[in-house]
Structure 1
Amino acid sequence: MNAPAQAIHFKRRNIGELVQPDRVHTSLYTDPAIYDEEMERIFRNSWVWVAHASEIPEAGSFKTHWVGKEPVIVVRDRKKQVHVLLNRCRHRAATVCEHKKGKANSFVCPYHGWSYALDGSLRGVPHPESYADMLDKGEHPLVSLRVEEYAGMLFATFKDDIEPLTEWLGPARKWMDLFMKQGGGYPVKVAGEHRFRFPGNWKIQLENTTDAYHFPLVHRSFLHSVDKQTEEMLDFVGGKGYVEDLGNGHSVMVMIPELIDLEADLDKPVPDRYQALAQALRDEGHDEQKVRRIVRAVGGSGFNLNLFPNIACSMAFFRVLQPIAVDETEIHHAVITMDGGPAEANRARLRMHEHFQGPMGFGTPDDSEAWERVQAGSQAGRDLWILLNRGLPGEKPTEDGVAGDVSAETGMRAAYRQWLKLMTKD
């Protein structure tokens, strides 16, 4: 279906009709008008993840990112306060920072030289005499977004009257706390990322993080590449795991229940694949309790946490999605290490990340091909629906929301309920 025809079809339907309790309309993947509305109603009216605190550790540290389609700079000023600034000079709109990350004393527009302090205030204008008294520098700082932090995760929003971040996250906070135990007693640190794009809508990837149903089929080659003990551990479809709706579009998929809390049951045997690492840590002088804590952390958490709309804490890495167009999405896979932790343990984390998430890994290429096929198939049929009804009959109320079995599409239904709420809100 070409874009104009799809846009006309969208106008015939009320947007509130496009999400049903057990399905969503295919136009959510393909309609440019819906995509533009999402950038305004969702990404400008939600808390959007922009960085982990370890990515901007010192005064002057910065990274560039996006909130929806709008470029931003995430920076720590001289007082170590975090700012999220629109990456746009207030003079003639040129970006003032083109580097992905680094350290700076200020941001200077390369077009006409307007310079801004780390907090975004306008400090200098070349040849100010030409303005006479027509330019008040205090009226032209870089636009600053509201920013808040939880568990080292930095979120920004354009919406001044949005609820505090802790309320937005709700029950997801306890899962964030559990995920950060991957520091193994050290602070969690982002140690680099792998970026790639796929020709598909951003929501296709959003759905994937809590989709256990695809794992044994799409990731068959990965399962064949690991030892038998690991393969058995990852045979979780039909197991005792579950998917839980945590409210506000957030959800968690627990695949390996015994690895929810990485600091529990440390007296269990060390898996065979980590025996060499455990011995190397003992040889470095770490006591047995610390060895077991670090080894357990290296293996990652037994769950995936989806934080609507753009960040997933996925077993052992951060997955960030960045919408580019209605049919294009950029993915950032950020590897997590232990800041100041043993080099052997961090090397093991990097090798594990490369094995699945890296460009030559066994997981990401298969995932991205599946997402591409979804987008291609969604062009077929003018009025077909995407089914999200798996596990719906078995859902049960929980303290934090509702939960279904590990292969239920509970997390997807949670995300689309939030999508519908924001897209139809006055």
Structure 2
Amino acid sequence: MDIKVRELRDVSDLVQPDRFDTSLYTDPEIFDAEMDRIFKGTWVWVAHASEVPNKGHFVKSFVGKEPVIVVRDKTGQVNVLLNRCRHRAASVCEQKRGKTSVFVCPYHGWSYALDGKLRAVPHASVYGDDFNKADFPLVSLRVEEYAGMIFATFRADIEPLVDFLGPAKKWIDLFMKQGAGHPVKTLGEHRFRFSGNWKIQLENTTDAYHFPIVHKTFLDSLDADTSNVFDVLGQGGWVEDLGKGHSVMVMIPALVDLEENLEDEIPERFRELADELRSEGYEEGEVRKVVRAVGGSGFNLNLFPNVACSMAFFRVLRPISVDETEIRHIAIGMDGGPEAGNRVRMRLHEHFQGPMGFGSPDDAEGWERVQRGAAAGEDVHVLVNRGIDPLIGHVAGSNVTDVSAETGMRAAYAQWKRMMSA
């Protein structure tokens, strides 16, 4: 697909290795260019495979500001289609998710197959003999999938998804061990908007520095043992630049690989679950595997530009305007695993990231304050200079920085600069 790229002044000087210009939060011209150069220029996460499990299942999504339909067709292939009738531009799908055999435009009745092909046009004879339905399918994007994560792109000439993900694939594989031997599936989600630029949230997922300050109310709600687990600055964690704007922030090293240390004592907060699983007939090895997976992984994986595998859920951002962003917090669980385990996962998700939880409101308040503050002193830079020096002799290797370092932000903004200056 040919992509029209908006003209834009040279922005290469707006991002330095350790700081960037405030206009990245506030300039509508920059925002519009981001939609072309970044969101139309790379792989963008659109859905999880469990949201379209069978033929005919679909879910609405976005690539940047462009509405799309993610649908599994009759051959089992996943298609990502622009949600726009080829006739007069009406959307052909308004349900958030569901199952269908055809998409029909409600305006003039043009109907499309699940692969986007135009199937029928009412009163087609009026168009004349040279009208060919094959010329007017729904616009289809390139689609690839890794570990159940579905990505789409407007670019036909882009590198394969596995190359785009690069070293991040290792961390995706570790994250998916939360299925405890079962496939991971989505359990539900909630959406909200905040009055701020999308990159403010992108930064947050790789920011451990804020956790004990912003989330003090959450920490105060925990028992002593769990509070120690969430001492994210005091457990020897690290941040690593994974290339292409991706990064990983390891906050709880002991929970990086959920298939290790299964013989450890079961935490008190999960003993009731363990007893319930035993009473249902699960062997001790399976009980320990499920219990360890239920608490989530010990890291946040940021995938540029729009999705994070964040400890125990997917966080997806959608730019609305230069100063408004939509967030989806998607709970995950075990597909085919014990219902008791998924129930506990949902309760944990609700405690922190649910609509009435401790995490989301506190985070959103911080993001909005950044946007409000950015209106002052527009010639003052935003700093991302914390923890530039690598850690020497760290168990994770030589290419890592302190867990509170702003390495992930520097990685994202370096990729932003590359794409916006291309």
Q: Could you tell me the TM-score, scaled by structure 1's length?
A: 0.95
On the 8 A contact 1:246/1:401 being kept in 2, the answer is no
1:33 equivalenced with 2:29 (yes/no):
yes
Question: Which residue in 2 is equivalent to 1:103?
Answer: 99
Structure 1 segment 22-171 matched on structure 2, within 5 A = 22-171=18-167
What amino acid is the match of 2:222? Answer: V
Is 2:415 aligned against 1:422?
Answer: no
Question: 2:235, 2:253 within 8 Å by CA — same for their partners in 1?
Answer: no
Could you say which residue in structure 1 is the equivalent of 2:311? 315
Separation in 2, partners of 1:407, 1:193: 28
Look up the match of 1:324: 320
Return the offset for 1:135.
1.5
Q: CA deviation at 1:191?
A: 1.2
Instruction: Return the alpha-carbon distance in structure 1 between the equivalents of residues 348 and 293 of structure 2.
Output: 12
Deviation at 1:133, TM superposition (A): 1.4
Tell me, in whole angstroms, the C-alpha distance in 1 between the residues paired with 2:192 and 2:164: 29
Cα 1:135/1:396, change in 2 over 3 Å: farther
2:286 to 258, 273, 290: 290
In structure 2, the residue matched to 1:228 is 224
Give the superposition deviation at 1:238: 4.0
Q: What amino acid does structure 2 have at the position aligned with 1:237?
A: L
Q: SS state of the match for residue 276, structure 1?
A: helix
CA deviation after TM superposition for structure 1 residue 386, in Å: 0.6
Q: How does 1:248-287 map to 2 (within 5 A)?
A: 248-287=244-283
Partners in 2 of 1:149 and 1:209 — Cα distance?
23
- Specify the alignment match of 1:5 in structure 2: none
* Matching of residues 180-199 of structure 1 within 5 Å: 180-199=176-195
Instruction: Provide Cα deviations, 1:22-71, integer angstroms capped at 9, x if missing partner.
Output: 00111000000000000000000110000000000000000010001110
In structure 1, which of residues 215, 232, 237 is the aligned counterpart of residue 233 of structure 2?
A: 237
Distance 2:109 2:78 in 1: 24
Runs of 4+ in 1 over 3 A off after TM superposition: 11-14, 394-402
Structure 1 Cα separation of the partners of residues 392 and 90 of structure 2: 52
Q: Give CA-to-partner distance per residue, 1:289-333, whole Å, 9 cap, x none.
A: 100000000000000000000000000000000000000000000
8 Å Cα contact 2:117-2:137 kept in structure 1: yes
- For the 8 Å contact 1:218–1:366, the answer to whether it is kept is yes
* Shift in CA distance, 402/14, structure 1 to aligned 2, threshold 3 Å: farther
Distance in 2, matches of 1:182 and 1:301, equals 7
Q: Is the 8 A contact 1:244 1:401 kept in 2?
A: no
Matched, 1:402 2:405: no
Give the Å deviation of 1:265: 1.1
Q: How many Å separate the matches in 2 of 1:348 and 1:204?
A: 31
1:355/1:362 contact within 8 Å kept: yes
Which amino acid letter does the alignment assign opposite residue 368 of structure 2?
E
Amino acid at match of 2:162: T
In 2: Cα distance, 1:209 partner to 1:58 partner? 32
- How many correspondences in the alignment? 415
**8 Å CA contact retained: 2:8, 2:33:** no
TM normalised by structure 2 equals 0.96
CA–CA separation in structure 1 for the residues paired with 2:134 and 2:235: 60
What is the letter of the counterpart of residue 411 of structure 1? G
SS in 1 for 2:20: strand
Asked whether 1:207 is paired with 2:199, we answer: no
- Per-residue CA deviation, residues 117-140 of structure 1 (Å, 9 max, x unaligned), is 000000000001111113210000
Distance in 1 of aligned mates of 2:419 and 2:93: 31
**Matching residue of 2:363:** 367
Distance (whole Å) between structure 1 residues aligned to residue 294 and residue 177 of structure 2: 10
Q: Distance in 2 between matches of 1:396 and 1:412?
A: 21
For structure 2, the 5+ residue unaligned runs are: 1-6
Structure 1 residue 359: deviation in Å? 1.2
- Any unmatched runs of 5+ in structure 1? 1-10
The alignment partner of 1:149 has SS state of strand
* 1:342 alignment counterpart: 338
Q: Is the Cα contact below 8 Å between 1:183 and 1:337 reproduced in 2?
A: yes
In the alignment, which of 375, 387, 390 is matched to residue 379 of structure 1? 375
**Cα distance between partner residues in 1 of 2:225 and 2:337:** 26
Q: Distance in 1 between matches of 2:159 and 2:391?
A: 28
Q: Distance in 1 between matches of 2:55 and 2:382?
A: 47
- 8 Å contact 1:75–1:82 — kept in the other structure? yes
Per the alignment, residue 4 of structure 2 pairs with: none
1:400 Cα deviation after fit: 9.6
AA aligned to 1:16 is: S
Q: The residue matched to 2:317 in structure 1 has which SS?
A: strand
Distance 1:262 1:234 in 2: 16
State the alpha-carbon separation in 2 of the partners of residues 337 and 236 from structure 1: 23
Deviation at 1:13, TM superposition (A): 7.2
Asked if structure 2 preserves the Cα contact closer than 8 Å seen for 1:316 and 1:335, the reply is yes
Contact 2:390–2:399 under 8 Å retained in 1: no
**Amino acid aligned to 1:363:** G
- Decide whether aligned partners of structure 1 residues 61 and 182 sit closer, same or farther in structure 2, where only a CA change above 3 A counts: same
* Cα pair distance change 1:424/1:168, threshold 3 Å: same
2-structure distance, mates of 1:348, 1:243? 29
Q: Which stretch shows the higher mean deviation, 60-69 or 234-243? A: 234-243
2: CA distance between counterparts of 1:412 and 1:170? 18
**Letter of the 2:200 counterpart:** I
Amino acid at match of 1:41: R
SS in 2 for 1:402: coil
Match of 1:411 among 375, 393, 408: 408
Moved more, 231-240 or 117-126: 231-240
CA contact (8 A) 2:211 2:232 kept: no
